[in-house]
Chain A
């Protein structure tokens, strides 16, 4: 198998929390292995606090991994020492943030980030070319008339428009992989679909890969090829998106899917109210982290941390009982 665009090996990130004398270790991400192919849209789904955003920030090099390694085009990120190398990586892997109201500096015109990106990463462009390029990426994300939009300040744009500016900034790099951290969750439902369509379009047109982070499984199904499910710092399931949604293996994935409001389907009576919460993983013991909420837990779950294991073509799940008892979703 040829080298994927991005690959992680045992990616782990811990944070120290608590007081000086009672210091504890928060396990935000533990031992995550995944790949993102060229031109592929991979969705990373899970509840808040599951470590999704930490993975985004590890890939964007905002955080350094506690353990493990990220390989981009076969090259480990820890080997990027010179500023040149790091800038090159930044331009290959930009990030789009969740909150369009806080991710654009209010003191500058909306094109500020785009112009800075062009200056940093495509320094050979002259002034006029930079302006043309700025207007081109704005038009690319559907912000027209781009010359008029370019002159505006962030507070003059709506949330949806701001988030498009976020994507325009990412495009200014001519990127290979865009990390989109819940890019639509703060927007109105009516304009979300427009941004999701934009992401698919960019993939078609520019061949960009996406890591699409979300807690909305339906939107993941809408645009992604493959899905990674995360729970309490662990990747618990992985597979082609349609396959995972039709036949979820991990009990957590099943719970997640049953919680998606679907006006077209009747309300299932089996939807028992689950009042559990994803745990804060502080100084964890071995064992499955989902077991307190899991209807299928067995003794083994208490003591042995389940590892991702193959359960069908391109399907992986980290569950001791998945194959035996939970082959089909509870109807």
Chain B
């Protein structure tokens, strides 16, 4: 969320090393990226353009409007002409000159109030968040009080007392009353930062607390601080103009608000001098809009997640698309996936996260999908369950998913609602995020039951109790909130909810990865036991191959968006074919047998934005040779599928690809 994150570099290591010291090279590189991001953002361009324009007016008004704005020397109430661009006032002053000279005060107020309010907001917000306890209580109370008091009337009262007291009183009053919103945001940001390890790391390193606040916390909040400044500036421009318009403040000052005040007093609109009244208002609006636009643009640039990206269909068509694979529905199989390809949009082009995957699932079968993070295993699940879309901007670009005769790819949301939960359900990785923290377990189960069935209250209650008992949770926990359950129990509750309608397929995305070994083991045993009893099929995604070794019937090993190996679990563990699978199995230390030195798999998976042309694993493969420069197809070996040329001479390729 900080500015440097704009430098979302996709270049390989070493590309940034120039001739000079490395630091400088990246600084230049980052500067270029920021420049590019700004010039590509329309809001930033318009906002900054306006601000620069106003700044020029404020700095050199004399060069732009040579007329003295206060000289009452011209004929009164003139219409617009070449000499008087916006006519003259009822006192014989040039409206254009007044506008130009008035810019300085408005801009100055914006900058000074913005600065003052931001300084107070940072001091109050960060200390409240970092110190916590009583200091937080007192500071937050003050912030909240200022936040809720109606500021405009208060300022009118203050300004009326200090009438004609001039520019700096106005700045101070607006600044002192305008910081509370920013302070609230900074406080909550600091609170969330306090749980981040890097602050603790700084203390462990031996840093002083003051150093931690100034050098560790503040720089990570640059974007919020800038937003707080810009927000306060907008507020200052509007309020100052408003106050001057109703005659509070110095009526002899040169500002847009004062112009409005005099124009109003002379009923300029009705008296044929519309520009006198309209133009200052337009200027106030433009300056406010400029600050607001820069604020939005800053947010978008510093936080790439906010940018809405769509897969451009021009780009999508360039992707290699699989031949249309028509499958005949097979009653034995509840799920058939053919040639499934999913792509995400990114700034640098489409990223194919799932590349032409085929898989079949029989009734009651347990399929494990394993692979390193970023290999596309979760995306594959989401695509099958039709959960892609905002905020995951992935799209199925080709392929077919047949689930119990439904063509999942073409179903509408409405049709999906009929089969989701009833016929298949999904258990997510983090139960804490998937459960609603403010509802009891019972209320959440009731919501699901109400949305997908027509049960009576009593039936719903009975069913909820029944599924909780299934996962060995005492039904008294129906009245518990998620935070009152332990991690293991939350995951069990999630599985209970997935079982509400006894679906034929449950899709699980690393449901145990947040748990300890003991809880993990007992949850796995429970899933297997339920599966055998109720007969549903399971697709289970995990990065820990050993976890599913005793539970899954078949395993699909994914590497860099593709199927690397697919076969029976036992066979795959006993005789892994693909060097990647072999590497994965080699990566586990064991608690039994000889202690042997392990190597794991050196290196990292390739960048899916530009996958290597040949075998995607070649760069990390101990068996790589020149034949690997051509992309290997899937070969069938003893009923298993494997994508590796080592097996070329043994069997024919299954699918020409």
Residues of A at the B interface (CB closer than 8 Å) are 47-48, 57, 60-62, 86-87, 90-91, 94-95, 97-99, 102-109, 113, 116-117, 120-121, 131, 145, 147-153, 155-156, 158-160, 169, 188-194, 196-197, 215-219, 221-222, 242, 245, 255-265, 267, 271, 273-275, 277
Contacts and interface: CB of A to CB of B under 8 A. Distances in A.
Given A62-B203, A86-B206, A261-B550, 9 more contacts: A99-B197, A105-B220, A147-B22, A148-B13, A151-B25, A151-B26, A169-B205, A263-B588, A273-B522
B583 interface: yes
Contact of B23 (A109, A158, A217): A109
Which 3 pairs show the lowest CB-CB distances between chains A and B? Answer: A193-B600, A263-B549, A90-B206
Interface string B494-524: 0000000000000000000000111111101
B5 interface: yes
Contacts of A160: 604
Nearest to B30: A153
A262 B590 contact: yes
B495 to A, nearest CB: 13
A215 B517 contact: yes
B25 A262 contact: no
B17 A273 contact: no
A259 B8 contact: no
Given A87-B206, A193-B589, A221-B589, A156 B9 contact: yes
Contacts of A222: 589, 595, 598
Interface stretch (B51-59, B266-274, B336-344, B483-491): B483-491
Nearest to B198: A105
Contact of B584 (A153, A189, A194, A256): A189
Nearest to B570: A263
A193 B488 CA distance: 27
Instruction: Give the interface centre of B26, B583, B585, B599 by most chain A CB atoms within 10 Å.
Output: B26
B532 interface: no
Interface stretch (B141-149, B288-296, B538-546): B538-546
B207 interface: yes
A48 B517 CA distance: 10
Nearest to A143: B13
Instruction: Give the interface centre of A105, A121, A159 by most chain B CB atoms within 10 Å.
Output: A105
Contacts of B640: none
Interface residues of B, number: 76
Given A107-B222, A193-B599, A149 B13 contact: yes
Given A190-B600, A256-B518, A273-B525, A265 B587 contact: no
Nearest to B219: A107
A47 B487 CA distance: 12
A95 B17 contact: no
A221 B591 contact: yes
Nearest to A252: B518
Contact of A255 (B518, B549, B592, B599): B518
A158 B546 contact: no
B65 interface: no
B602 interface: yes
Contacts of B195: 102
Contacts of B604: 158, 160, 191
Contact of B517 (A103, A147, A259): A259
Contact of B372 (A91, A188, A242, A267): A188
A57 B200 CA distance: 9
B593 interface: yes
Contacts of A149: 13
Nearest to B2: A107
Nearest to B22: A151
Contacts of B529: 273
Contacts of B185: none
Contacts of A216: 517
Given A117-B205, A262-B591, A263-B545, A103 B584 contact: no
B14 interface: yes
B546 A153 contact: no
Nearest to A91: B206
A238 B4 CA distance: 47
B17 A90 contact: no
B573 interface: yes
B592 A264 contact: yes
B600 A152 contact: no
A93 B363 CA distance: 56
A82 to B, nearest CB: 12
B587 A148 contact: no
A94 B204 CA distance: 7
B587 A193 contact: yes
Contacts of A189: 372, 543-546, 584, 587-588
A192 B587 contact: yes
B589 A277 contact: no
11 contacts: A47-B519, A48-B516, A62-B204, A116-B207, A120-B207, A145-B14, A145-B17, A148-B17, A189-B588, A190-B583, A265-B592
A192 B546 CA distance: 14
Interface string B602-626: 1010000000000000000000000
A259 B487 contact: no
B589 A97 contact: no
Given A215-B516, A256-B517, A277-B486, A106 B546 contact: no
B531 interface: no
B547 interface: yes
A275 B167 CA distance: 70
Given A148-B17, A155-B5, A62 B200 contact: yes
Given A153-B4, A188-B373, A90 B204 contact: yes
Given A90-B205, A151-B25, A259-B518, A103 B198 contact: yes
A149 B25 CA distance: 12
A160 B603 CA distance: 10
A244 B604 CA distance: 35
A267 to B, nearest CB: 4
Instruction: Give the interface centre of B373, B543, B547 by most chain A CB atoms within 10 Å.
Output: B373
B545 to A, nearest CB: 7
B472 A275 contact: yes
A131 B24 CA distance: 13
Contacts of A117: 205
A191 B4 CA distance: 27
Contacts of B545: 189, 263
Contacts of B526: 273
A191 B14 contact: no
Interface in B73-87: none
Contacts of A263: 545-546, 549-550, 573, 585, 588
B217 to A, nearest CB: 9
Instruction: Give the interface centre of B196, B517, B573 by most chain A CB atoms within 10 Å.
Output: B517
Contacts of B592: 262, 264-265
B7 interface: yes
